[in-house]
Chain A
Amino acid sequence: MTTKLLNTTCLTLLAAGLLAGPAAAEPLRIAIIEPFSGSQASSGELYAIAGKYGIEEINEAGGFNGAPIEVLEYDNGGTTSGAADKFKQAVAEGAHVILQGSSSAIAGQLTEDVRKHNLRNPGNEILFVNVGGEALELTGDKCQFYHFRFTTTAPMRVGALVQAMKEAGDLGTRVYSINQNYSWGQDMEAAIRAAASQGGYAVVEATLHDVNKIQDFAPYVAKIKAAEPDTVLTGNWSNDLLLLMKATGDAGLDVRFGTAFLDQPGNIANAGETALGHYLASPYNIAAGEKAFPEAYKAKTGHYPMYMEPQAVNGVRTLGKALEKVDFGGGEIDVTEIALALEDATLETDLGPITIRKEDHQAVLPVVVSRVEKGAAYTVDGTDMGFVPIKVIPGPDALYPVQDSCSMKRPG
């Protein structure tokens, strides 16, 4: 009786093994680690929607390694320790790629987690695809082989803004720089100063202020008024941008804004007509490309791609290009090989190609400068206003030099 049972068990196991043979292709697992709760939940949600859209595209084209790509979603709660916990959980659940976008602080945590994991687990590396963290140190001090950044940085946005606004005759010669007092705002201020000679302007004054704490920007507007600038350049986002623009409008100050995050959902609706004529530099603008992508996106997700959704999709698509070049024949996935292929990948977008700079893994991507106007092709926030593309600056022209602080250790 026992032997019979044993035999059956053996046979079943054998059969299961045989059956599992062809189906045992290791699926690529992509972990999306974003805030799905707390104050940052809305942007985390957008990154997740865009990421999943891109992954679904790859899966519809046949997946990778003989299986559809698996998506794992984790809520980091908007804190770095939450992200560290979820990273470990993702590793435990077999993730190969981490996809993340909202918050440079969390990107900083994840890139370090990935670096240490890879040091300790040679042969089981993990790839970090950063689709939103813009802090310069991610490709500077913290740069590492397994981190790829698929978005712009402060110098890229400012350089593009200055060039396009100057050509449109809207820049003037006196520029006021106002930014949030932390790494991003400081990066922006440095970039605005650095672009002065290229743009032929003088920085009449530069202000750094508290991050998302100021309720009344009137004193700052008074300072701006006193400096008599033609243009205000700012990297402010969320309330800091909104309240600043509103206070400027209330004070009757006629000054042009050049911004980095004016397309954040809700901004235009909140600012109203005050926003008209202001500029935005961003990694993509659907109005500058073909109709196919926004329509396909809307059919799947219910809305046109907005804010940083297109750049996240492009990041995943570039990863898809790299995946096309590697073949593990259904066997074990070697992340290092994928990373090497990603270095050489090129994605043709409607606005121009996206490639990777090998020295620091910063994506070389076109930057679009747009102006808020009525009757745009894609109106936003339920208003009659939208972002009209003014100029597309090709990737290589928008790029900034590799930072000296980056010393990347390559595999092998």
Chain B
Amino acid sequence: MRRHHLLLLVLVALPLLVLPPFLSLGLQNTLVSMLVAALFAVSFNLLMGQGGMLSFGHAAFFGIGAFATLHLMLAVEDGLGVPTPLLPLAGGLAGLGLGLVAGYFATMRAGVYFSLVTLALAELLHTLAPQWDGMFGGEAGMSSMRMPWGGLVFGSVLEVYYLSLAWVALCLLLLWAYTRTPFGRLTLALRDNEQRVRFMGYDTHKARLVVFAVSAMFSGVAGGLLAFSNEVANYTTFGMPVSAQVVLHTFIGGSTVFLGPVVGAAVLTLFAFFVSDLTRSWLLYQGVLFVLVMLYAPLGIGGIVELHLRHMRELRWRALAGPYLGAAVAGLLIAAGFVFVIESLAVLFSSDYAVLRRDAGGLPPFPFLGTEWQPLSPLTWLAPLLAMAAGGWLASRAGRRIAPLWDEARRVHTQGGETA
């Protein structure tokens, strides 16, 4: 089991170390965003997945980390002798500070009330920041420059990438070590049954506060890395999209697995990079993806992978291969049909088509995928609908064949566990 994990770690770490110099500048920068999002999501998940506290305002700590780092960067520009690679530390400290203060109040309550307090906190900063020029730089934000240090210029994206990689790896290691400590176990207990923890003699308010502050601190480091990379911090960092994004990353990646949020952050950041310039509907696809994961795989992508790893020996892979392939084809068919319909509608409602329509005085064929399509022809709409129907049929067939195989694997697994 341990060897599996080590192998997996090497498989992930090696390309991250070796590949970037050969990638395009845009992709290098996306990898930086991915690292930042990954750290942010894991620290968010410490609170959400392990501590059972769903924060809707984690952008507050992310943002405060960004601004703190930027203030330190400005000071370094003016000659303060802080080594450039240590700049994100300021973000961590600011996150910790704000986390202690805000967390003291937020952790007095649990559940929905906790979420609302955190939401209010982020909104407070979001409203305050554009008006407080000295602290947050007004609407246009604050800006600084990374100073050279120790023979490194820190001008290129690649240097930023490797520094971010080092910071994120270190932070993830610390966060993982945290889960191994007795306090990390207590965090899980807080989530599962707070009352029992209190009866055991712990001050649960203090314990929850510590979890909150630690999560805020690492979120601050992530924000610091973002400021380090962008060299600008702006009030929009406190906005709802940032708070929502980290929730999406965590749930799609899977909150039950330590590295689940990393998977979610990686998948969605790369998705945004590749798809956002291809189509204007990419946020819709992202939303659909989220809904599908919540409906059919509430454990998230990471959870699914972990489930397979855990049942590695018990699963009959040869019998599963066929249905899995079928399910993959089904997924492709449904996705293709859905994307076709959405993109056709996007073309039909675009201003370019409005011009065509006016010139033709009717409903002219619309160009899509290199050919022309008749908007009123049943063929145009039947083809994708048929593809989706066929996909649905295939999916349900594959599902019926997969379910018993999994039931069997689970049975063997629990029996094996009992005998061992």
Contacts and interface: CB of A to CB of B under 8 A. Distances in A.
Interface of A: 36-38, 41, 49, 73-75, 77-81, 84-85, 88-89, 91-93, 104-105, 107-109, 112-113, 116, 119-120, 135, 137-138, 142, 181-184, 210-211, 213, 299-303
Contacts of A108: 139-141, 143, 232, 234
Contact of B234 (A105, A116, A137): A105
Interface residues of B, number: 42
Contacts of B30: 85, 89
Interface in B2-51: 24-27, 29-30, 33
A49 B277 contact: no
Nearest to B140: A108
A142 B141 CA distance: 11
Nearest to A137: B140
Contacts of A303: 351, 354
A329 B25 CA distance: 28
B283 A38 contact: yes
A84 B157 CA distance: 12
B138 interface: yes
B290 interface: no
A210 B242 CA distance: 21
B232 A113 contact: yes
Interface string B262-279: 000000000001001100
B364 interface: no
Interface of B: 24-27, 29-30, 33, 127, 130-131, 133, 138-141, 143, 145, 155, 157, 226, 229-232, 234-237, 239, 241-242, 273, 276-277, 280, 282-283, 351-352, 354-355, 358
B128 to A, nearest CB: 11
Contacts of A89: 25-26, 29-30, 273, 277
Given A91-B25, A93-B26, A104 B139 contact: yes
Given A75-B282, A104-B140, A183-B133, 4 more contacts: A73-B277, A80-B234, A183-B138, A302-B352
Given A80-B234, A88-B157, A138 B140 contact: yes
A120 B282 CA distance: 33
Given A37-B280, A210-B127, A105 B236 contact: yes
Contacts of B232: 80, 84, 108-109, 112-113
Contacts, number: 123
| A-B residue pairs, 4 tightest by C-beta | A108-B140, A92-B25, A89-B26, A92-B26
A367 to B, nearest CB: 22
Contacts of A182: 130-131, 138-139
Nearest to A36: B280
Contacts of A135: 139-140
Contact of B139 (A75, A93, A184): A184
Contacts of B27: 92
A301 B356 CA distance: 10
B29 A300 contact: no
17 contacts: A74-B277, A75-B282, A77-B276, A79-B237, A79-B242, A81-B236, A85-B29, A89-B26, A91-B25, A109-B140, A116-B231, A120-B155, A135-B139, A137-B140, A300-B355, A301-B355, A303-B354
Q: Most B CB atoms within 10 A — which of A105, A120, A300?
A: A105
A121 to B, nearest CB: 9
Q: Most A CB atoms within 10 A — which of B131, B155, B352?
A: B131
Contacts of A211: 130
Contacts of B143: 108-109, 112, 142
Nearest to B23: A92
Contacts of B127: 210, 213
Nearest to B143: A112
B95 to A, nearest CB: 17
B194 to A, nearest CB: 35
A114 B236 CA distance: 20
B72 to A, nearest CB: 17
B157 A105 contact: no
Given A79-B239, A80-B237, A91-B25, A85 B138 contact: no
